[in-house]
Structure 1
Amino acid sequence: MATPLSAAHPPPHASDAHQARRALPEMLQIATAISGAVNLPALLRQILSSSRDLTLSDAGSIYLVEEEKGEKRLWFTAFQNSSLAAGDAGIDASLLDVRFPITPERLVGWTALHGEPLNLPDVYAIPADRPYRFDAELDRRMGYRAVSMLVVPLRTMAGDVVGVMQLINRKREPSSLLTPETAPSLVRPYDAGDQQLIEALAALAAVCVERTQALEGQQRQIDSMIALLAGAIDARSSHTGRHCSRVPELALLLAEAAEATQEGPLAPFRFKGDAERREFRTAAWLHDCGKIVTPEAVVEKATKLDAPVNRLHEIRTRFEVLLRDGRIAMLEGLLAGGDPDALQQDYARLEQELQNDFACVARCNLGSEGTDPEDLAQLRRLAERTWWRHFDDRIGLGWEEQTRYGGPPPPLPVRESLLSDAPHHRIPRPPEQVPEARWGFNLAVPELLYNRGELYNLTVARGTLTPEEIYKIREHMIHTIVMLESMAFPPSLARVAEIAGGHHETLDGRGYPRGLGAEQLSIPARILAIADIFEALTAADRPYKRGMPLSQSLAILAALRDRGRIDADLFDLFLRSGVYRTYAQRFMAADQIDAVDLDALLGPNA
């Protein structure tokens, strides 16, 4: 290994007194800055400036070690030069923020590789047998002359080199401005005291770099977990996956509009820096992370008999059997010498009756805002109609389903209801799926995990979901809160669970899963609630519904505002700021974006 060059110890100089007076305060100031630093480049510039000031260095730079795909590089992070900044030449921007491989030929590369300082009295006089050399091209490009140089590694307590500090031209007088011609006479070498002091400052800089990299690594880890969860939801269901990516976009748009508000109730709202904004964005991304455990068959239940396949086909087969039985009866009557016209008329009436009855079943199978009471009455009449089953309905089943039948099978053939609510349709709820009281959830837990009863499902009055399935959908909030409150988030993300867990709560206290009231819901949680509802109303990629037009979606939100469910001031801002329009243009289909009557939506108090 080559031995670093060291300057001879010069006699005491007037600038040494300056250095002694400033060293301790500068060190304390930097240590204080490190303790609260969030901006690494700015802190490194401060450390470089202090290092130059303490050593009367005319110029200096800091390089950080980066690793990408197994290859380490040096990143030209900070550069300062008093003489160039004061003159007309300036600093070529192309020289900054560059990255290059770590090689021993470069001075900073040698120090980064070996972890040892270089103290060079004159970089143009490096002996030829040294493995490193000074690249004079940079001097020529900038119109400068480097003479003395001190290159010190930024080494962590573990001995890892995370960067390099380079100080150039230790001036004899603080006020000197150097030119290529005057630099050799106005510059002196760095002495042992300079080197010792800068090594101490470099150690502080290394602490700063290591701390920042640890925080960045922690943030990358959290971001990767968020991406993992969102990706898992997306893989399970493309519909909820797109929801999880669109809601943060809309929530951030509304949050930015709220931050820009200068008057009214929302005027005080501001994120306290990038950390709080990142906390909100994280909560928005994770607001539905509990859906990872929600069965896809429930999330995407497009019709009432989906469980997870549409059992309408099975019921249609029973109608086919009844029609076939009717045709057999007609043919047997003809063979027995019955009246052909009467028999055919009876068969025609049966066929028409069955067609009408099945049309009612099919109609009721589709979820809607309301089911016709006459259709519901007809379904109950059909449940009293029977057909003959000739095959064992228990063979070929899994053991768990077998246990729900109970008792010995009846002898075949068996008369069964056309629409059945059988005991084996009732799936019990395991005790572990009842949340503990300590969580404070207000959702009433149904007795059954699922009820697959055919009549039970077909007579659901609104939509496609049974009470058990509605709970299963809402249960995702229970899982979301339990998951997020169980995660070891750093203090900067401490409110993620609170923000994400409140997007189904309402200001009147009738929401879920905890029934929180207005005083318990933060502005970020209220923003997220509006974003979640609006995205759900306008989403055009759900199998169980079509995306609503813009005007209808906003009218529903206005109704929620009027009932005290969502924040009126935020909804007013949502409209006035045009956030709804910006989102619609980005994410909604063109045929959904219709005319909106803002005056009517804002109401008489607008």
Structure 2
Amino acid sequence: MSEYIKDRTNLHHFIDISIRLTTEKDASKLLEEILKVVMSISHSDAGTIYSVTENKQLKFETVINKSLNLYLGGELGEPVDFPNIDLFIDGKENETAIVAHAVNSGDVINIPDVYAALPFDMSAARNMDARTGYRTQSMLTIPLKDHTDDIIGVIQLINVKDQHGNIIPFSDELVTLIRSFASLGAISLTNSTLIKGMEELFSTFVETIAMAIDEKSPHTGGHCKRVPALTLMLADAVHNTDKGPLATFVMSDSDRHELDIAGWLHDCGKIATPDHIMEKSTKLETIFDRIEYIDTKFEIIKRDLEIDYQKQIISAMKLNRPIEVLQFERLLDTELKQLSLDRAFLQRVNVGGEFLSDEDVANIDRIASQYQFVINEKQTPLLSEDEVENLQIRRGTLTLGEREVMKRHMDVTKSILDTLPFPKHLSNVSEYALGHHEKLDGTGYPQGLTKDQMSIPARLMAIADIFEALSAVDRPYKKAKPVSECLTILGRMVEDNHLDADIFAVFVECEIYKQYINDFANPEQLDHVDLTTLPGYSPIK
């Protein structure tokens, strides 16, 4: 080593090379860097670095030849059009190619003169030399091993030169030096590959959670996929904003990845939410929609009414009282019509698509107290107390108790995220993910945070989450709302200090809603939006 690091300058060069190898994270760039480093320290005229493919072949990553002014592959070079080299031919190890032999054996191969290198087939090198006028002479081939001793690549150096420019063999001391750098490069490459593999594993695992929720609840699974997309659309728009209070907000690629992970995980706790609540598409739905049970009870009441009146009609006919017969028939018809109206009313309010008025609530109480029937000589009301409670839900399909169960998904989400040992570059995932049900005035959940306690990514995820829910086309309990209505609801939440006004302004002015609707919803929802009357919106200045 002293021959090649003779003074302080060379020592600095040595250290710089080590740093470059250990700081580069991109695998392809790292391979290129390893080749350039070992060519530099060995004064080699040419070199090639190969990667090992999954189908047992060697792929040319970078090819450099100084004398021929050749630079192929890597970040800056021309594309490499050389065919891959098979490690096995007809099920047997490829013994004719030096690089294949190096991989299969794990040996370092040092050849002073390749033209005399038997038993290797050097015809390819000779043919290349004949076409280019180049003379391949000394060659060093070093396999790169990872932490499990698997070969992940090969370095091949050609024509090492002395200080006078003469081609010489690779000395044992130089081979040792090159191997040390190759090992350092292999370690760096392994770490880079492992990090990338772990990132891909974690990202895929996160997406499988959404897939699991999708299997449990198709409409919620769609929500879990769409919220990350809308969140990044809005985050990119805020990042690109160059005016207003958010002009200083910027995101790196790492920040964006972190926010994307948070988006995928924001509702992971719903995997523990009971199916009968998650999938409650009507007010009376449990395992089945109890409106069918109530329909059956209406049929029994209708039958009893008809039987009771028929008895009275027959009795009046026997007594030859035609006026009473006519009166009974009219009363029966009136009661059957009212029964049919009340039945249709309960079927309508069961859907939960509209806000229930005080008059509607009172009407449900009237129906519950008015109709009864007899089963096993016992008077049974048409509606049980639980059915009355569910039918009198003012908005949506969930009772207050069921809403509390739904809200608990955030506690489960928090427990899951608190358990995960996020690395430093994902340390904000939990904060971002848990922020989508918080409100700026501190009345949200699960932690009751205020605006000052919430980051911009958490605040923008809240807008993305609500807009997705309002505009969704796959909810079983409601129709998809037009954009104007969705934005009006968001704007009112801004006025109530629940959502961030500045982020809402970016959402509106950059027309993120249009991009999202075109990509993930129904373009027919894109109706006219009058910004002059939109609540909660103020132009960005």
Question: TM-score, structure 2 length as denominator?
Answer: 0.89
Which residue of structure 1 aligns with residue 439 of structure 2? 506
Alignment partners' CA distance in 1, 2:132 and 2:482: 62
1:234 maps to which of 182, 202, 214: 214
Which residue of structure 2 aligns with residue 163 of structure 1? 153
Contact 1:41 1:78 in 2 (8 A): no
Contact 1:107 1:134 in 2 (8 A): no
2:350 maps to which of 365, 384, 408: 365
Which residue of structure 2 aligns with residue 486 of structure 1? 419
Contact 2:50 2:153 in 1 (8 A): yes
1:29 maps to which of 13, 16, 29: 16
Query: Aligned with 1:503: secondary structure?
Result: helix
Aligned amino acid, residue 333 of structure 2: A
Q: Does 1:75 align with 2:59?
A: yes
Alignment partners' CA distance in 1, 2:399 and 2:246: 40
Distance change >3 Å, CA 97–CA 486, structure 1 → 2: farther
Which residue of structure 2 aligns with residue 66 of structure 1? 53
1:111 maps to which of 95, 99, 102: 102
Which residue of structure 1 aligns with residue 460 of structure 2? 527
Q: Does 1:279 align with 2:279?
A: no
2:313 maps to which of 334, 341, 352: 334
Alignment of 1:92-111 (within 5 A): 93-95=78-80, 99-102=84-87, 103-111=94-102
* Cα shift at 1:544: 0.8
2:379 maps to which of 404, 412, 415: 415
Q: Does 1:123 align with 2:100?
A: no
Which residue of structure 2 aligns with residue 399 of structure 1? none
- Give the length in aligned residue pairs: 524
Alignment partners' CA distance in 2, 1:39 and 1:546: 47
* Cα shift at 1:145: 3.8
Unmatched tracts of structure 1, length 5 or more: 1-14, 177-185, 391-411, 422-452
Which residue of structure 1 aligns with residue 91 of structure 2? none
Distance change >3 Å, CA 170–CA 575, structure 1 → 2: same
Alignment partners' CA distance in 2, 1:147 and 1:236: 66
Distance change >3 Å, CA 32–CA 475, structure 1 → 2: same
Name the % identity: 37
1:48 maps to which of 3, 25, 35: 35
Contact 2:139 2:157 in 1 (8 A): yes
Alignment partners' CA distance in 2, 1:168 and 1:195: 13
Query: Aligned with 2:53: secondary structure?
Result: strand
Alignment partners' CA distance in 2, 1:111 and 1:572: 62
Distance change >3 Å, CA 476–CA 327, structure 1 → 2: same
Alignment partners' CA distance in 2, 1:318 and 1:284: 46
Distance change >3 Å, CA 34–CA 225, structure 1 → 2: same
Which residue of structure 1 aligns with residue 333 of structure 2? 348
2:201 maps to which of 214, 218, 221: 221
* Cα shift at 1:63: 1.8
Which residue of structure 2 aligns with residue 319 of structure 1? 298
Distance change >3 Å, CA 530–CA 63, structure 1 → 2: same
Alignment partners' CA distance in 2, 1:369 and 1:546: 11
Unmatched tracts of structure 2, length 5 or more: 88-93
Say what the alpha-carbon RMSD is for the aligned residues. 2.8
Alignment of 1:153-552 (within 5 A): 153-173=143-163, 186-272=166-252, 274-336=253-315, 337=318, 339-390=324-375, 412-421=376-385, 453-552=386-485
* Cα shift at 1:457: 0.6
Contact 1:104 1:132 in 2 (8 A): no
Contact 2:138 2:170 in 1 (8 A): yes
Cα displacement string for residues 64-112 of structure 1 (whole angstroms, at most 9, x for unaligned residues):
2232xxx333232333333343899x99834269754323332221111
Alignment partners' CA distance in 2, 1:514 and 1:76: 54
Distance change >3 Å, CA 216–CA 351, structure 1 → 2: same
* Cα shift at 1:455: 0.4
Q: Does 1:603 align with 2:541?
A: no
Contact 1:110 1:132 in 2 (8 A): no
Alignment partners' CA distance in 2, 1:496 and 1:463: 31
* Cα shift at 1:135: 4.0
Alignment partners' CA distance in 2, 1:34 and 1:489: 26
Alignment partners' CA distance in 2, 1:276 and 1:459: 46
Alignment partners' CA distance in 2, 1:264 and 1:144: 63
Aligned amino acid, residue 383 of structure 2: L
Query: Aligned with 1:152: secondary structure?
Result: strand
Alignment partners' CA distance in 1, 2:111 and 2:124: 10
Distance change >3 Å, CA 221–CA 605, structure 1 → 2: closer
Contact 2:64 2:71 in 1 (8 A): no
Cα displacement string for residues 19-71 of structure 1 (whole angstroms, at most 9, x for unaligned residues):
5547654443344345444223333333322211111112222222232xxx3
Alignment partners' CA distance in 2, 1:250 and 1:142: 56
Aligned amino acid, residue 565 of structure 1: H
Q: 30-39 or 372-381, which moves further after superposition?
A: 30-39
* Cα shift at 1:165: 1.2
Alignment of 1:539-578 (within 5 A): 539-578=472-511
* Cα shift at 1:17: 3.9
Alignment partners' CA distance in 2, 1:528 and 1:474: 17
Which residue of structure 1 aligns with residue 90 of structure 2? none
Q: 35-44 or 297-306, which moves further after superposition?
A: 35-44
Contact 1:78 1:96 in 2 (8 A): no
Aligned amino acid, residue 260 of structure 1: N
Query: Aligned with 2:56: secondary structure?
Result: strand
Distance change >3 Å, CA 95–CA 124, structure 1 → 2: farther
Distance change >3 Å, CA 27–CA 323, structure 1 → 2: same
Aligned amino acid, residue 146 of structure 2: T
